[in-house]
Every structure is written in structure tokens, then in C-alpha cells.
Amino acid sequence: MTFTLAIVGRPNVGKSTLFNRLVGKKLALVDDQPGVTRDLREGAGRLGDLRFVVIDSAGLEMAEDDSLQGRMRRLTERAVDEADICLFVVDARAGVTAADEYFADILRRRAKHVILAANKAEGRAGEDGAMEAFGLGLGDPLRVSAEHGEGMDDLYRALVPLAEVVEAERPAPIAAETDVELSEEDAESGEGAEDWRPSAARPLQLAVIGRPNAGKSTLINKIIGEDRLLTGPEAGITRDSISVTTQFMDTPMRIFDTAGMRKRAKVIDKVEKLSVADGLRAVRFAEVVVVLLDVAIPFEQQDLRIADFAETEGRAVVVAANKWDLEDDKPHKLNELRASFEKLLPQLKGAPLVTVSAKTGKGLDRLHNAILKAHEVWNRRVSTAKLNRWLEAMTESHPPPAPGGRRIRLRYMTQVKTRPPAFVVKATHTDKIPDSYQRYLINGLRQDFDMPGTPIRLFLRDQGTVNPYRHKADKINQSGALSKHKNRQKPKGS
């Protein structure tokens, strides 16, 4: 049985702490100051034998205009409408406020099922506030402590009957199509064995990163076709790294929206530091990273650092220039972007550069194709035979240097991993091979095996002059010597 549980309440009552308690991880940012959470964050909740989707929401504000607080409130109200059960949290230590009474009335009208929880109720300090919560008319309040884990058994007992009601009300699922079996010919040839390709079970992990106000949340909203993420003219709206699972032009994807990353010297606020750290963690979870630029001020120093970080982490990178609809001289600007890209980011040579408009949706098809291409290259594998033929041709065309008269021999090459592609070269005097020759090999791999833009790792292993088959020769020599010794031991005439 599964259901959706939305945690709602006014700011700073402990919703994110309770969310982290239910998912068993510190996913949501938590701080003492109110209003840290702004977007809707989903997670896999677990309580006893119950499995459900839990949603952390922004604090309900008494604002109905188009201000940031008003947009946050509308997003939370949307979560209330879509959730199967709402967990309304009040602060037992502060007592019931006028805002709590106002939002309790909204939940009575809009929510399907409501559970009332008085948080921070540990000890005697929260007794009076928990008693006051009876007056909200939402049933008996549960005394819980999200920080210390108290009251979770009471919450479980309250959820079980509601979960059964939700399950009974849910329409019967439509039977899914049966899986397509591989033919014997396809199975023998290895077709279909590429489990890295995106599927419903394993969607492509995509992170969108960039400076504040580049349009990351707007772009993701346009991709999923709904206003799922909070957007607006203010810079730095997004704080948590929010993940959304969707179908981007029939490709299953899990997209991470991240907080805007400013220069480290400008990041003073504690919450912003937590937001940036959360965004960097999302990059490490991702497979493909879209570095989103503002076309009016592209390739600033912070953009270069962000792109370089994604490459250093070994992620496939796609560079997207947003707000393309505002550009007048598009051909000239595109040539300028490409020239700057090649000059300022040589480590990402050949990576896709696309232009998009998050506001109008123009260029999303190009972005989709670039993401799939980058993901395919990131997972590419080259056979050892092809690599060694290629290595022989590369060394004949441009032999490695001979420092001090010692000739360097590149003897053997193989690919040891993908995601990103990594290669090992067995050679002599590896400490004498200059970085320029390693770049020559990496650029050759990019060009000859069609791996543009993806990070390539090249490792040199010193083989020396040792014969790799020497151990076999030693075994033969040892067996021959042993047989001769036995022959000497035999008496004459035997």
C-alpha cells in the first residue's frame, strides 16, 4: 500500500525536520531561521511497514498576492489538493496562533484527510500548546518531537486506517503491456544488454546548475509541463536541490533543480552555504549536468568554475545558453558563444552547446538530443583490440619523446571503466611522459572514437622491461629442471 503524505504548517514549526525523520535521511535543509524551505521536496517515507511518498512544503504564509510568499503559499496549497493525507504541524511550545487557525480552516475545506501533530512537545514545555491544538477542530493532536523521534508510533497508528481508506478509494490500475523478449539472435549479439540506457526503472539522472537567476527552475517547469518549482524575478529563490521524475520527450529522467551558485567570497549566509553544498551533492548523483548560462552575460568566471567542477566530478556536460528569445542578432551571438566556449573551456572540447528559451520552450528538442548524446558518449566502451591498433598508429604518427636517450614504449592499452570512460596504458618510463603527450592521446581518443566533450581519464602504468609472459617461461623451466633431476635419481638400467 502506498499513499502521498504532505507535511504543511506555518514557518519554523519543524516540517523539514519531520520530513528528514520520515525519509531516514537529511535531505531537506534545516535551520533555526523561518522560511528555509521554499519548494516542494518529495522523498520515500517509511514508518513501520508503511511505505509512502512524503512531501515537505514551504511554510504557509498569510499572503495572497504575487509576492514570493504568495507564490510559495499557492505551491503549498497545490500540494494539499494533490496529497492523499495532510499532516498539519503546529508548534506546541509557541501554542496555537491566529495563522494556525486560519490554515486549519483552509485544510478543512481542501484536504482529503488531515492528521494534526503538535511538534516540539517533548517535556512539560509543550503540554499547554498541545492542549490548545484541540480547539482547531481537526481531531486529537498527536504529541510528537521530530528532532528526538518521539510520537512516531502514535503517527503510525493514525496513518494505518487512513492509508486503508486511500487504498480503497484509489481506482484499479490499468494492466501494463508485457515486456518484449529478445530474440536469440539479439541475445547472442549482445543487443539489448546495454542496461545504462534510460528506462522507467532507471531514469537518466540530470542536474541543472548555474548562477542565480539563470532560469533553472523555469526551464525544468517547461520540461515537465507544469509549474512544479517556485520561480520569479528574484535571484536565489531555490534553496533545496529538488528532484522531479518526468518524461522528457519520451525519455525517463530524474531532474535535479539546484540553488544558484555565487562566488564563494559572496556566500556569507548559512542557508546559502547549505544550499550550494546541496547543489554540489546533486551534481555527484547526476549522470549528465546541464550548465545553464544567461545569454546576456555568458561565461563569467563563476560559470567557468561551475562547468569545471562538473568535468572534475566526471559528469557528462551540456552547456545551454538560456533567454535566447531576448537576443536580436542570433547568428553573430551564436558564433561568439562557440568561440568563447572553445577558448575558455578547452577541457570540455566538443561538448554540446545549445541555445534555449526556458520561457517559451524553444530549443528544448535540441537540449533533449544533446543530453542523450552526452549520456551515450559517457557510457561508451571501446574494445581492447581497437584501442591497441589505434595506439600503434598514434605512436607511429607521433612517437613519444626520448628523454636522456631512453626510448619510451607504449606497449598495451585497455579501457577499465565507463561513466566516464577511463583507459590504462602500460608503458616504460611513465614518469618521463610529458602532459602534452597525454593530452595528444586524449584528444585522439575524442576524435577517433567519437567521444566529444565527455571527461576522459587516462592512467599510465609503468611496465618496465619485464616480459608479461615470463611467469609461463619460468614454469616451463622449472618443470624441465625437475624432470632432469628425477632422471638423475633413477638407477642405471631401469
Answer whether 205-379 and 384-466 agree in fold: no
Who has greater pLDDT, 280 or 393? 393
Residue numbering of the annotated binding site for GTP: 9-16, 56-60, 119-122, 210-217, 257-261, 322-325
Domain covering 3-169 assigned CATH 1.10.240.10 in the classification: no
The whole-model pTM stands at 0.65
The CA-to-CA distance between both ends of the chain, in Å, stands at 84
Dist CA 173 CA 489 (whole Å): 83
The Cα-based distances of 32 to 15, 16, 88, 103, 385 in angstroms read 12, 11, 19, 22, 60
> pLDDT (tens digit, 9 = 90+) per residue, 86-128?
999 998 888 888 888 888 888 888 888 999 999 888 877 677 7
Is residue 387 a contact partner of residue 246, using CB atoms and an 8 Å limit?
no
Statement: residue 190 has pLDDT above 50 = no
Strands 288-294, 204-210: pairing is parallel
**C-alpha closest to that of 232 among 20, 423, 442, 58:** 58
Residue 175: what residue type? A
* Residue 387 pLDDT: 94
> pLDDT (tens digit, 9 = 90+) per residue, 347-397?
888 899 999 999 999 999 999 999 999 999 999 989 999 999 999 999 999
pLDDT band at 173 (very low <50, low <70, confident <90, very high): very low
Neighbours of 491 (CB within 10 A): 5
What fold characterizes domain 205-379?
A: Rossmann fold (3.40.50)
* Segment of 42-51, 56-65, 123-132, 386-395 carrying the highest mean pLDDT: 386-395
pLDDT band at 67 (very low <50, low <70, confident <90, very high): low
pLDDT band at 44 (very low <50, low <70, confident <90, very high): confident
What fold characterizes domain 384-466?
A: GMP Synthetase; Chain A, domain 3 (3.30.300)
Statement: residue 72 has pLDDT above 90 = no
Domain locations in the chain as residue ranges = 3-169, 205-379, 384-466
Dist CA 409 CA 94 (whole Å): 75
β partners of residue 254: 205, 245
Q: How many CA atoms lie within 13 A of 444 on its CB side?
A: 18
The Cα-based distances of 115 to 43, 52, 165, 352, 393 in angstroms read 19, 15, 14, 49, 71
Is residue 14 a contact partner of residue 147, using CB atoms and an 8 Å limit?
yes
Residue numbering of the annotated binding site: 9-16, 56-60, 119-122, 210-217, 257-261, 322-325
